[in-house]
Amino acid sequence: MIAATEKLITSFRASNPKVIVVLARVIPEGKPPKYSCLPKLNTEPARTAARLRSPAQPVIVGAQATGFDWPTDTITDHVQPTHAAPRKWRSPGLPSSKRPSRFTALRALPPR
């Protein structure tokens, strides 16, 4: 998964060298042990950002999990977020004018 993420970032940068990449940690969920890999996986965005960031090409780790409480912010499956949950998600370090929309990644991909 990390190699695929790095490949995507390389592709985004080839398409737009000024792209600002925001990596996200996975939001917490309430179904262990099925998703017991998530805590380890959530250490990778910071490592990947540290490897790939530069002053000219920032890679920011979003903090959308901050304040997320799976017992109240997920639907009855204890995994999928409620409609209200995304209001808690953040992209720190970016002025609001540069915060990514949900389609940022799609616009960054080169045409087929």
pLDDT digit string (tens) for the chain, length 112 residues: 788 999 999 999 999 999 989 888 887 788 778 778 888 888 889 999 999 999 999 998 877 777 788 888 889 988 888 888 777 765 555 555 555 554 444 344 444 4
| Angle in degrees, 0-180, between the axes of helices 2-15 and 44-52, rounded to the nearest 10 | 40
Do 65 and 28 touch, CB atoms closer than 8 A?
A: yes
What was the pLDDT predicted at 108?
43
N residues, the chain: 112
48: number of Cβ within 10 Å: 19
What was the pLDDT predicted at 48?
93
Do 97 and 23 touch, CB atoms closer than 8 A?
A: no
At 98 the three-state DSSP class reads helix
At 24 the three-state DSSP class reads strand
What was the pLDDT predicted at 78?
86
Separation CA 27–CA 43 (nearest Å): 12
The residues, any chain, with a CB within 8 Å of residue 8's CB and separated by 6 or more, are 105
Its pTM stands at 0.65
